[in-house]
Chain A
Amino acid sequence: DAMVIQNPRYQVTQFGKPVTLSCSQTLNHNVMYWYQQKSSQAPKLLFHYYDKDFNNEADTPDNFQSRRPNTSFCFLDIRSPGLGDAAMYLCATSGLGSTSPFQETQYFGPGTRLLVL
């Protein structure tokens, strides 16, 4: 089945130690998104890639970076995690420009829960 995969599902890191979260997709979608979701809150968009074009949200801290080496993979790098960065990180994809609204919908992975000690 086509899907959005996130690894690892749980990640523990130390304060200030760089960490990378991974997302891959088999949907061949051209857009990939990264969201941060804190407890009891709605997901908050950090940035997205439209093909190779990176689009940062205005209020995303510089501590958060992303890479998309190819269509299938996208990485979220947190350069110096703080205690406030502990959250669920969600990756989503969509097939923008498709004639099908079903394809243009955002599909989410299971998330990676990050714990910062």
Chain B
Amino acid sequence: GEDVEQSLFLSVREGDSSVINCTYTDSSSTYLYWYKQEPGAGLQLLTYIFSNMDMKQDQRLTVLLNKKDKHLSLRIADTQTGDSAIYFCAERYDGATNKLIFGTGTLLAVQP
């Protein structure tokens, strides 16, 4: 089946690093994405990584991809209270339509 799994909850202190993990199922996925959703809002694209890459860095965000283990992670450096949100990973499993399968979402709570 097509399941993308994430841990449900992560709590960190302001200024610490956060690492949100995701495991996906389709080894042929070409792109993997991270979206952020604040309460009552839509999904905001944070970053994406192409499947032939191991790592991508974008300011405070670092994405690591272990294709062998089908494991994706998002590291947020110097986490701020404004980073509190739900984070969804998603895999693109149908290139013809760009359909995505979303993970279950991880609620990140940043304590001041």
Contacts and interface: CB of A to CB of B under 8 A. Distances in A.
Interface string A73-117: 000000000000000101010101000010011111111010000
Interface stretch (B57-65, B66-74, B96-104): B96-104
Nearest to B35: A108
B43 interface: yes
Nearest to A40: B105
Interface stretch (A14-22, A42-50, A59-67): A42-50
A101 B48 contact: yes
Contacts, number: 54
A55 interface: yes
B17 interface: no
Given A42-B104, A43-B102, A101-B50, A109 B97 contact: no
Closest 10 CB pairs of A and B: A42-B102, A108-B43, A108-B42, A110-B42, A111-B42, A94-B98, A96-B98, A109-B42, A43-B102, A90-B42
A27 B24 CA distance: 29
Q: Is the interface of B mostly helix, strand, loop or mixed?
A: strand
Contacts of A92: 43
26 contacts: A31-B97, A31-B98, A41-B104, A42-B88, A42-B103, A42-B105, A43-B102, A48-B99, A50-B97, A92-B43, A96-B97, A96-B98, A101-B48, A101-B50, A104-B31, A105-B45, A105-B48, A106-B33, A106-B98, A106-B100, A108-B43, A108-B44, A108-B45, A110-B41, A111-B40, A111-B42
Interface of A: 4, 6, 31, 40-43, 45, 48, 50, 55, 88, 90, 92, 94, 96, 101, 104-111, 113
Contact of A55 (B41, B48, B88, B97): B97
A92 B35 CA distance: 13
Nearest to B41: A110
A104 B42 CA distance: 18
A55 B97 CA distance: 9
A37 B104 CA distance: 11
A105 B35 CA distance: 11
Nearest to B89: A42
Query: Which of A6, A31, A43, A109: most chain B CB closer than 10 A?
Result: A43
